[in-house]
Amino acid sequence: MTLSAAPAHEKLRPATGPVAPVTSAQRGLGVADVNLDPSGFWGTRQAVNAGATLQHCLDWMEHLGWIGNFDRVARGETTVNRPGWQFSDSEIYKLLEAMAWELGRRPDASLAASFDALVDRVGAAQDDDGYLNTAHGHPGLPPRYSDMAMGHELYNTGHLLQAAVARLRTGNDDRLVQIARRAADQVCEEFGADGRDAICGHPEIEVALVEAGRAFGERRYLEQARLFVERRGRGTLPVRPLLSAEYFQDEIPVREASVLRGHAVRALYLSAGAFDVAVETGDDELADAVTDQWRNTVARRTYLTGGMGSRHQDEGFGDDWELPADRAYCETCAGVASVMLAWRLYLATGEARYPDLIERTLFNVVATSPSKDGRSFFYANPLHVREPGASASDGVNNRAEGGVRAPWFDVSCCPTNVARTVASLGAYIASIDDEGIAVLQYAAGEIRAGDFVLRVQTRYPDEGTVRVLIVAAPDDESRIRLRIPGWTDSATLSVNGGEATDVAPGWADLRRMFEPGDEVLLELPLAPRLSWPDARIDAVRGAVAVERGPLVLCLESTDLPSYAPIEDVRLDPDLPLLAHADGARANGVVCAPAESSGPLPFGGVRPIVSDPKPVDVTLVPYHRWAERGPAAMRIFIPVTG
């Protein structure tokens, strides 16, 4: 990969979305540039996010005292039994970011008042030198930066900066931006080249400093991010029981690693920040290293859903091909972080494989976490749940292991992460470059980019017809590019009712003088298909999954007759799959295995399947599982024979 060095920042970047590299050929859109139809898949979720999730998060954090922590610091009180983990400040900041994107997308006087009030409470707790934290550095609390491994001070500051970037990128240079500037200046003073030689145990400050540098026009923030990236991997963080240097990505320098490892969210945030540093400094070696890590991770350590992280013990990546379905962790926050990294790689390269993974992750991880009403969430997203989970309590849950969605968690990073992602989703729908516009994700709505205004009509992913109407276009020849998903091999494209032509996965480019009234019709067949695991994935060998378009499907015990326990169902892969509503039907049998011949569930005699009974297997989109109540569920189903 060849990158060009960025010019010195001399003025603010134009208002745009979450990521705005100076030199990338592809440029993202702003959240106000894409207006999603409220009846569409993502438009509905944006409306629920705005109307329910934001207030839900605010109410819980007020109720638990996480916001009150700022009030206590502002009053100068001695803290005793501080509510929340040391990283709870970050949840307030992620909520502020979600609010900022939502206000940039759609003005709302009530939301604006809540935003301003929350910013005032946060700002009141800031020290004179810019330091801002409610878990360290005040009476009754540990000293500043006294626990770099697990204190999360820089992690919290990173999320503060990202909230401020959202505010500035939506046209508001206000108090939140000034608070964040002072906090970033304090970080640079404390940890600059002549300051403390240290890093944060949870990466986040790196990606935030780069984007703050871009948005605020402050080059030294980029330099500080570069220092943090280069310092990691030297084993400077103290390890703890069950937490190795690899957990923190501190056992090997970023540019020397070959794959993502350790805590999944930490690894992905670090990679996003490292790639941003590479882009801004023209560091080809660092960019290539992150690209290789992404490629190897997707090829060997990523689930069918796009989920990342196979180990519960450290919320981390396992070894190559270690992808158990029933013990999959696939933290929702890791899905968000995966989207962040893939988006940066796309902007730098223009390659379709990155929005391909974004689509898979959005539909099968991000959309899976929240309930329909936006008031409960999955923390982990396993691909197999053996027993229906107990209904989540109305209180704080220690962790959602994947059985049911819960309203809040002791570590409640996922609700606010989902909120900020859904609020800013329009920024990932399309991009522009010097040749024209590229439509990357298919959602009903209107896209405004440069001289283009496109109206997208579709019921995707329930239906595969995507109609793009040109409302306005440049006066000269230009290009409209459509992403053809990697999962299809039979897509067709036509213009103005002309003959449909086959288009292969990747990009379909249309170059012409577009005029208002032109219509581009993309047909993406959504026939159900089998997806077989790599033979090296021991955990699901002998099983198969079913997909339909971008959706991974699953089998729920809710859809099985009483005589068919979900563990005894086998799929016949030789019989055709049938489309069913937005899912699929398949032919299967219920097998009653003979009991083992030994004292253990193992023996010297091969069990013989007895009395197999046919059963209709109904599969539904994974993102909808557990909506009808607690259920057993599996994505990979053993096959007959």
pLDDT tens across 620-633, in order? 999 999 999 899 99
pLDDT tens across 512-543, in order? 999 999 999 999 999 999 999 999 999 999 99
In this prediction, residue 581 has a pLDDT band, given cuts at 50, 70 and 90, of confident
pLDDT tens across 455-508, in order? 999 999 999 999 999 999 999 999 999 999 999 999 999 999 999 999 999 999
Range of the domain at 469: 430-523
**CA atoms in the 13 A half-sphere facing the CB of 323:** 24
The candidate with the shortest Cα–Cα distance to 424, out of 307, 343, 330, is: 343
pLDDT greater than 70 at residue 601: yes
Q: For the ranges 83-87, 256-260, 332-336, 391-395, which has the lowest average pLDDT? A: 391-395
In this prediction, residues 190-202 reach a mean pLDDT of 97
Please report the pLDDT score of residue 256 as a whole number.
98
Residue 42 CA, chain-centre distance (Å), reads 14
pLDDT greater than 60 at residue 262: yes
Residues 449 and 595 in one domain: no
pLDDT greater than 50 at residue 5: no
Residues 402 and 443 in one domain: no
Residues 350 and 434 in one domain: no
Residues 69 and 146 in one domain: yes
The candidate with the shortest Cα–Cα distance to 50, out of 502, 419, 565, is: 419
Please report the pLDDT score of residue 397 as a whole number.
77
In this prediction, residues 63-69 reach a mean pLDDT of 98
Please report the pLDDT score of residue 401 as a whole number.
66
Residues 212 and 178 in one domain: yes
With a CB cutoff of 8 Å and minimum separation 6, the contacts of 151 are: 86, 135, 136, 142, 145, 200, 201
Please report the pLDDT score of residue 593 as a whole number.
65
Domain membership flag for residue 592: yes
Please report the pLDDT score of residue 241 as a whole number.
82
The candidate with the shortest Cα–Cα distance to 88, out of 160, 177, 184, is: 160
Asked if 235 and 250 count as a contact pair (C-beta separation under 8 A), the reply is: yes
| Sheet with 506-512: strands ordered across | 27-28, 430-432, 436-439, 478-484, 506-512
Domain membership flag for residue 18: no
Q: How many folded domains does the chain comprise? A: 3
Residues 473 and 617 in one domain: no
Q: For the ranges 97-111, 404-418, 480-494, 600-614, which has the lowest average pLDDT? A: 600-614
Domain end residue (candidates: 428, 450, 470): 428
Please report the pLDDT score of residue 9 as a whole number.
37
Asked if 361 and 335 count as a contact pair (C-beta separation under 8 A), the reply is: yes
Residues 286 and 401 in one domain: yes
pLDDT tens across 121-133, in order? 999 999 999 999 9
In this prediction, residues 418-446 reach a mean pLDDT of 97
pLDDT tens across 14-36, in order? 547 999 998 888 999 999 999 99
Residues 315 and 361 in one domain: yes
pLDDT greater than 70 at residue 11: no
Range 528-545 burial, b when 16+ CB lie within 10 A, else e: bbeeebeeebebbeebbb
294 residue type, one letter: W
Phi, psi (rounded to 5 degrees) for 101: -65, -40
Asked if 493 and 467 count as a contact pair (C-beta separation under 8 A), the reply is: no
Domain membership flag for residue 7: no
Please report the pLDDT score of residue 12 as a whole number.
37
Residues 476 and 412 in one domain: no
**CA atoms in the 13 A half-sphere facing the CB of 133:** 28
Domain end residue (candidates: 473, 507, 523): 523
Tokens of 97: 């970011």
Residues 557 and 506 in one domain: no
Please report the pLDDT score of residue 390 as a whole number.
77
**Residue percentage of the chain with pLDDT more than 70:** 95
> Residue 456: which CATH number?
2.60.40
What's the mean per-residue pLDDT of the chain? 94
Residues 552 and 565 in one domain: yes
Q: For the chain, what's the residue count?
A: 641
pLDDT tens across 348-397, in order? 999 999 999 999 999 999 999 999 999 999 999 999 999 988 776 677 77
8 three-class SS: coil
Tokens of 339: 């989207």
Domain membership flag for residue 6: no
Asked if 82 and 138 count as a contact pair (C-beta separation under 8 A), the reply is: no
Domain membership flag for residue 8: no
Domain membership flag for residue 423: yes
Domain end residue (candidates: 463, 495, 523): 523
> Residue 352: which CATH number?
1.50.10
Please tell me the distance from the alpha carbon of residue 26 to that of residue 432, in angstroms, as a whole number: 6
Please tell me the distance from the alpha carbon of residue 51 to that of residue 48, in angstroms, as a whole number: 5
Domain membership flag for residue 21: no
Q: Where are the beta strands (DSSP E) in 386-444?
A: 430-432, 436-439
Ramachandran category for residue 423: left, alpha or beta (phi over 0 → left; psi -120 to 50 → alpha): alpha
In this prediction, residues 338-353 reach a mean pLDDT of 98
pLDDT greater than 50 at residue 239: yes
Please report the pLDDT score of residue 400 as a whole number.
59
**CA atoms in the 13 A half-sphere facing the CB of 469:** 9
In this prediction, residues 263-273 reach a mean pLDDT of 98
In this prediction, residue 7 has a pLDDT band, given cuts at 50, 70 and 90, of very low
pLDDT tens across 405-421, in order? 999 999 999 999 999 99
Domain membership flag for residue 15: no
Residues 256 and 391 in one domain: yes
